[in-house]
Amino acid sequence: MCESTAFLLNKNGEEEKIMEYVIDIFPEEDGQLTLTDLLGTTKTLQAKIKEVKLLKHKIILEETNI
């Protein structure tokens, strides 16, 4: 399987799980990211990709303030 779990770094630098089974990440023109899971559920947030660990199926995002 190629799905990953997305985590958002909180203010303390800890990872908070925000979505499982992520299959798509789409960058929006306004700087937001839209994540889509295996069932088609989407979540849009103001963040940037900090790190992607392909072997661990892990996506780490960091909030951005625009």
Domain containing residue 21: 4-63
Is the pTM above the cut of 0.75?
A: yes
Number of domains comprising the chain:
1
Ordered per-residue pLDDT tens for the chain, 66 residues:
689 999 999 888 999 999 999 999 999 999 999 999 999 999 999 999 999 999 999 999 999 876
Q: Measuring CA to CA, which residue among 34, 8, 37 is closest to residue 20?
A: 37
Whole-angstrom distance, CA of residue 6 vs CA of residue 15: 9
Residues sharing a CB contact under 8 Å with residue 55, sequence separation 6 or more, in sequence order: none
Bridge partners (DSSP) of residue 7 are 17, 60
Q: What residue has token string 């559920």?
A: 41
Residues whose CB falls within 8 Å of the CB of residue 28, separated by 6 or more in sequence, listed in order: 34, 44
